[in-house]
Amino acid sequence: MKHLALIVALIAGCYGSGGGGGTGGGGTGATCPATAPPTYDSFGHQFFQSYCTRCHSTTSTDRMGAPDDLNWDTQAGIDQHLADIEGQAAKGPNATNRLMPFTPPDPTDAERETLGQFLACEKLRAH
C-alpha cells in the first residue's frame, strides 16, 4: 500500500501544473545564447545521463513511474519533448522548474539554467 501511495504522488507531481515561478510547470523564457550555445555534445548528453536517464531510459530497470515512451537516451528522444522537459526541470528568467528529478542527485540552478538554454537552442535547431 505504501508503494501505491508513492506512485500516485509521483504521477501527480509529474502531471500537476505547478507554479510557473516556483517549483515547476511554467515556461522559463530561456533563450539560446548567441555565443557558445550549449549543444547536445557539449551539455545535453552529460546532463541527461547524470539526472534523467535513471528513469527516462529504454534500459531503466526502475522507472519510478516514468511513462515507457518518455526516454532521454538520445537527442531525438529529447527533441520530441522539449516543452515538457522545460516545464519539469529547466530554469530561465520567468520560472525555475524543479519537478524533476524526483530523487537526488539534483541539478544545480546553474545547470537548470543551461538546460533551459539548451532546450531553447534545440527548438531553434529543430525548425
Helices (H), 63-126: 75-79, 82-89, 109-126
Contact 82, 76 (CB under 8 A): no
The overall average pLDDT reported for the chain is 85
pLDDT of residue 24: 64
Cis before 38? omega within 30: no
The top-scoring range by mean pLDDT among 21-25, 26-30, 110-114 is 110-114
Q: How far apart are CA 120 and CA 43, in angstroms?
A: 13
Going by pLDDT thresholds of 50, 70 and 90, the confidence category of residue 63 is very high
Q: Which of 82, 107, 105 is nearest to 96 (CA)?
A: 107
